[in-house]
Amino acid sequence: MKETFPVRRLTPGLALGAALVTMVGGVSAATAAGSPTTAASAASSPGSDHAALGLDAAEKLVTRSVVTDPDGTTHVRYDRTWRGLRVVGGDLIVEKSSKGKVREARFNSEHAAVGARTTTPKVARSTALAKGAARSKAAGKTSDAELVVWAGEGTPTLAYDVVTTGVKADQTPSRLHTIVDAERGEVITSWDEIVNGTGHSMYSGTVTLNTIQSGSNWLLKDSVGNYTTDLNGGTSGAGTQFTDADNVWGTGAPSNRQTAGVDAQYGAEKTYAYYNGVLGRAGIWNNGTGARSRVHYGNAYVNAFWDGTQMTYGDGAGNNKPLTSLDVAAHEMSHGVTENTAGLIYSGESGGLNEATSDIFGAAVEFYASNSSDVGDYLIGEKIDINGNGTPLRYMDKPSKDGKSQDCWTSGTKNLDPHYSSGPLNHWFYLASEGSGAKTINGVSYNSPTCNGSTVTGAGRAAMEKIWYRTLATKLTSSSTYAAARNGAIASAKELYGTGSAQCTAVAAAFSAISVAAGSETCGGTPPPPTGGNLLGNPGFESGATVWTGTAGPITNNTGRPARTGSWKMWLGGNGSTSTETEQQTVTIPSTATSAVLSFWVRIDSSETTSSSAYDTMKPQIVVGGVTTTLATYSNLDKNSTYVQKSFDLTAHKGKTVTVKFLMNEDVTLQTSFVVDDTALTVS
């Protein structure tokens, strides 16, 4: 298990998926971060994946996006329908080998199935519309309601998704979703589709813009389609494309209408370049096209927002402080990236993760741009003085300094506004990047505490940016929590930098430091030996994929093969394709031992029909002083229907550090499953 919500290693018939690839060395940063491809149809096959997942016939999978790793492993993100109804919160991620075999699935909800009790509502549509309208604080409201299945949390149920549109008192447009139970009439949850930013109005000095020419004029537009328009105080429409005769834009003063456009365009171009060059993502939609930025929205509008298609910026207090700075552009564009990857709903813990993601990449782009007028920092809105006392809006090193955000995760985090429930993840990013304690970076002083009293050593901002993006693109779903974020980030760190890496250690330590407890995903490494006669830790695998290190996936509680005792075991092979899997752990045999015996139970089944050729093998091995010794070789020729115990005398290695290793190799076709349970290295 790899998340708070169900993660399955799957068994279509006897052809089992293998493990996650661990990517270290030789992979470009942009590619390794896991960038979604545009050829979703080439990697996704809803029909076959539906069968592999064992989903109900009434369910349909709808491909949303695909992420492809350098080795061909794909992460296919699906939405679902049930009996023709759209399922809200039914999204899932399927990981597949380069040959298209399903390895595991990450479901958004604790319920993998999304079928509701009925398709016939007891609550009238008019009642649901009224409840949605009552939730909205917008003026000029109009509402529509769609019958859906709500599967975001709890037992899936028939519901109405009521969308109420209008304009709030502060001039921000609103598209509020209200989920109303269609059987009981209760409001289940609500969130606004228009994601607000917070004010960041600071200019970036003289900058270079990649404008294009049209006739005798220049357009505030680049070659990939990032362009900026003037709303001229309006609150709707596309606005007027900025043009200029000499390609010299603005004056640096808000009184010149082009100035706000310059900052917005510069921010959009730098953000696109960051995602494309650093993370390997070709813009918000990953299709190589830019986005529109609208400036001069409304009258003295002190905000900026992403509305699902474009970025929009107000002119700030007195129409003299346009909210068009570099980090605001990156923040708002990153809301678009989140919408088109994990789709984190803007409420509860997922809302905090959504907002923090925009802060994280806002800071990342600021560092990336390396602009002397706006140096990279971990402060949000540090130059606009919205508070009137020279303080920033938010502090990533210690979020509680703003008076509202949390430093540490609590059970009440989900009840906060996303701008404040984002605090713990912002804190995590700083700690994992820079570490705890006092330090000065780019002339800014920080002093980051930890919630558990620990000392955290950071592993570098560049690594954390890639790890968090991979988590967003391949691990998180619409209702993901902080617990899911921890598991996903650790898994991503191992995939990018390896088991036991400094980067993974920093990720895990920083999550512990913000009070997010350890979950099923660990960085691996060598633990202290257990007490008692058995030196092996987690010998029966009942603690999940912990202590043992190697290939991700074999240690499982999947019911496709029985455990000897309990419900967990080490299931090697079963792929039906060319693959190699390993699991190992290292212990020290005491020099005072009079005997040391390695033992384990193994069950072998195979689709191979030969009686003479060992096509698929599993070897128990030991590594001592860098020398590997194979203790035995089992193959498809040794298949048996029950568990059999194997034992090996290791007394000769007392006083030495010994790595116990299981190595499995499978050939191109026909699966063989080697299922190991109840291991022991017993000393006396």
- The sign one gets for the Cα dihedral 480, 485, 490, 494 is positive
If DSSP codes are grouped into helix, strand and coil, which group holds residue 350? helix
End-to-end CA distance of the chain: 34
Q: Establish how many alpha carbons lie within 13 A of residue 78's alpha carbon, considering only the half-sphere containing its beta carbon.
A: 27
Tokens of 491: 């898994």
Q: How far is CA 523 from CA 7, 114, 552, in A?
A: 18, 32, 11
269, 332, 581, 583: the active-site residue = 332
Residue 332 appears among annotated catalytic residues: yes
Q: How far is CA 167 from CA 127, 173, 245, in A?
A: 22, 4, 36
Residue 581 appears among annotated catalytic residues: no
Helix (H) or strand (E) holding 568: none
Q: Do 262 and 207 form a contact (C-beta atoms < 8 A)? A: yes
89: left (phi over 0), alpha (psi -120 to 50) or beta: left
* Interatomic CA distance for residues 327 and 329, integer angstroms: 5
Phi, psi of 620 (to 5 degrees): -75, 130
Question: Where would I find the beta strands (DSSP E) of 231-370?
Answer: 240-241, 243-244, 292-297, 304-306, 310-314
- The sign one gets for the Cα dihedral 625, 628, 630, 634 is positive
Q: Do 270 and 290 form a contact (C-beta atoms < 8 A)? A: no
Helix (H) or strand (E) holding 597: strand 596-606
* Interatomic CA distance for residues 184 and 190, integer angstroms: 16
Measure the CA dihedral 404/355/372/390, to 10°.
-20
* Interatomic CA distance for residues 127 and 666, integer angstroms: 59
50, 75, 296, 419: the active-site residue = 419
* Interatomic CA distance for residues 29 and 462, integer angstroms: 9
For the residues of 53-81, what is the DSSP string, one character each? Answer: HT--TTEEEEEEEEEE-TTS-EEEEEEEE
Helix (H) or strand (E) holding 154: none
Alpha helix locations (H) across 171-325? 257-278
Active site residues: 332, 419
